[in-house]
Amino acid sequence: MDKRRETEEDKNLEETDSSGSDYEVDECDGGPIQKAKRKILKFAKRIRQKLEEPSTKYKLEYVSKTTDVYNFNFEKRGCCLIINNDTFTNMPPRPGSVSDVYNLKAEFQKLRFSVKIYNNLTGPNMDKKLRKVAQKYEHENADCFVCIMLSHGDEDINRGQERKDVVFGTDGIGVSVAYAMSLFSDNECPGLMGKPRLFFIQACRGQKTEKGVDIKLVKSSVKKHGSGDTQTSRDKTDGIDDEPDAKPASVEETPVEQSLKSLDLNPPAQPRSESESEDEEDDIDHYMEGFDKLVTCPSPCYKDSMVMFASPPGYFAFRRESGSWFLKSLATVLKQSNRSIDFMKMLTHVSYYMAMNYQSENKKKKEIDGCKVVPCIISMLTRDIIFNPKS
């Protein structure tokens, strides 16, 4: 009798396994050990099979299964959105910004991006264009997304002491960087889910400056600011009437720099082009007056996103009439670098290039004389970015 009952239970167990329905485990109150063992083994086998089955619900088509690199094998490279504000109602103009746009357009087109340029937008129109690109562009068939914003900027600290970076429209109405990034988050722009979103901001983030320090190195020397270099260039920060002068810093190559050069991390100093006169004015991307309205969002960054600012939090961003320190450095590195290396390594190269080749000089205003600035990167990328060739 017991043997017949055991046979029937085994048969029912096999039928349950073949049906694919959920298997319920009953407590065994002292039954035969072999019977319980068979049930446990069959249950474990079903669980193992379930785990090995591909799940369409959680399958990530856009993530490479074999490498730590984002999948860049989609039909399109993606959209490169450039918002350039250089003429304002109640703020100083930003000469040199057009040169940045020209250089960046050329380099990102070489990377096979579809470049969209919008000039001199008000705050509400900046919001409108950002939303349009997020919602209307076919991101599903693209590798990634790039957004570059060039304008006056400042920092906003609310009553809760939460700091936000603001980029101004031509009417003085600001859009926060965090808000702009939120429009391309997974929730707002599902077509970019699992894909890198890269933001570059040429705008001041406050009013601080950094003088830098001279460092003594064994068997090498660092020249004083301005020595051995007769080139001068007038630097400005976007938004104030100060006109600090700037020029590339003169630094002898150290053993560390020699090793960096072997790794393609130390480009030659950027020569002044024929279009750059010796008394060319530079500016800072900052406006000291109050602003009218802000569109803000508290989140600074999102998954699979990266933002690179021209300066650290609270600091000026410098610009010349031939272009900004930051975006000229970015365009130079994109032009000279090996495209097969990780993009984040290129951006480290940009920071090094800018730190070593640019320095302000203003004998009339000591507070902005001999200033240095290095870009700031905030990243939540989860994989490497390699711009593989596209047909």
Say how far apart CA 6 and CA 27 lie, in whole Å.
Answer: 16
Asked if residue 122 belongs to a domain, the reply is yes
Q: How confident is the model at residue 228 (pLDDT cuts 50, 70, 90)?
A: very low
Say how far apart CA 315 and CA 312 lie, in whole Å.
Answer: 6
Asked if residue 315 belongs to a domain, the reply is yes
Question: Over the stretch 36-59, which tens digit does the pLDDT of each residue have?
Answer: 667 667 766 776 665 565 544 434
Those residues whose C-beta lies under 8 Å from the C-beta of residue 300, and which sit 6 or more positions away, are: 178, 181, 307, 378
pLDDT of residue 287: 61
Catalytic member of 204, 225, 286, 301? 204
- For the chain, give the mean pLDDT: 75
Share of the chain above pLDDT 90, in %: 46
pLDDT of residue 28: 44
The alpha-carbon radius of gyration of the chain (Å, integer) is 28
Asked if residue 8 belongs to a domain, the reply is no
Which residues on adjacent β-strands are paired with residue 324?
319
Question: Over the stretch 175-197, which tens digit does the pLDDT of each residue have?
Answer: 999 999 999 999 999 999 999 99
Asked if residue 249 belongs to a domain, the reply is no
Question: How many domains would you assign to the chain?
Answer: 1
Asked if residue 45 belongs to a domain, the reply is no
pLDDT at 33 over 70: no
Asked if 301 is an active-site residue, the reply is: no
pLDDT of residue 315: 86
Least confident window among 121-135, 273-287, 354-368: 273-287
Hey, what amino acid is at 144? C
| Selection from 88, 93, 376 nearest residue 238 by Cα | 93
For the residues 340-359, what does the mean pLDDT come to? 94
Say how far apart CA 63 and CA 150 lie, in whole Å.
Answer: 32
pLDDT at 237 over 90: no
Question: Over the stretch 192-225, which tens digit does the pLDDT of each residue have?
Answer: 999 999 999 999 988 777 766 666 555 444 443 3
Asked if residue 32 belongs to a domain, the reply is no
245 or 248, which is more confident? 248
Question: Over the stretch 67-80, which tens digit does the pLDDT of each residue have?
Answer: 799 999 999 999 99
Burial category of 82 from C-beta neighbours within 10 Å (exposed 0-12, middle 13-18, buried 19 and up): buried
Least confident window among 20-29, 87-96, 181-190, 314-323: 20-29
pLDDT at 255 over 50: no
| Selection from 153, 94, 96, 105 nearest residue 323 by Cα | 96
Those residues whose C-beta lies under 8 Å from the C-beta of residue 268, and which sit 6 or more positions away, are: none
With beta carbons less than 8 A apart as the criterion, state whether 306 and 379 touch: yes
CATH number of the CATH domain containing 179: 3.40.50.1460
Least confident window among 100-109, 191-200, 270-279: 270-279
pLDDT of residue 60: 44
pLDDT at 103 over 90: yes
For the residues 309-314, what does the mean pLDDT come to? 90
pLDDT of residue 272: 52
Asked if residue 91 belongs to a domain, the reply is yes
Asked if residue 324 belongs to a domain, the reply is yes
Q: How confident is the model at residue 374 (pLDDT cuts 50, 70, 90)?
A: very high
> What domain range includes position 185?
76-207+291-345+374-379
Asked if 286 is an active-site residue, the reply is: no
pLDDT of residue 6: 52
| Selection from 104, 232, 123, 112 nearest residue 167 by Cα | 123
Structure tokens at 50: 């379930």
Residue 203, Cα to own-chain centre: how many angstroms?
A: 15
pLDDT of residue 249: 40
236 or 98, which is more confident? 98
pLDDT at 351 over 50: yes
Catalytic member of 79, 144, 152, 371? 152
Q: ∠ at Cα 83 (240, 343), nearest 5°?
A: 105
With beta carbons less than 8 A apart as the criterion, state whether 329 and 199 touch: no
pLDDT at 155 over 80: yes
What is the pTM assigned to this prediction? 0.68
148 or 208, which is more confident? 148
With beta carbons less than 8 A apart as the criterion, state whether 358 and 325 touch: yes
Q: Write the secondary structure of the chain as one string of H (helix), E (strand) and C (coil).
A: CHHHHHHHHHHHHHHHHHHCCCCCCCCCCCCCHHHHHHHHHHHHHHHHHHHHCCCCCCCCCCECCCCCEECCCCCEEEEEEEEECCCCCCCCCCCCHHHHHHHHHHHHHHCCCEEEEEECCCHHHHHHHHHHHHHHCCHHHEEEEEEEEECCEEEEECCCCCEEEEEECCCCCEEEHHHHHHCCCCCCCHHHCCCCEEEEEECCCEEECECCCCCCECCECCCCCCCCCCCCEECEECECCCCCEEECCCCCCCHHHHHHHHCCCCCCCCCCCCCCCCCCCEEEEECCCCCCCEECCCCCCCCCEEEEECCCCEECCEEECCEEHHHHHHHHHHHHCCCCCCHHHHHHHHHHHHHHHCEEECCCCHHHCCCECCCEEEECCCCECCCCCCC
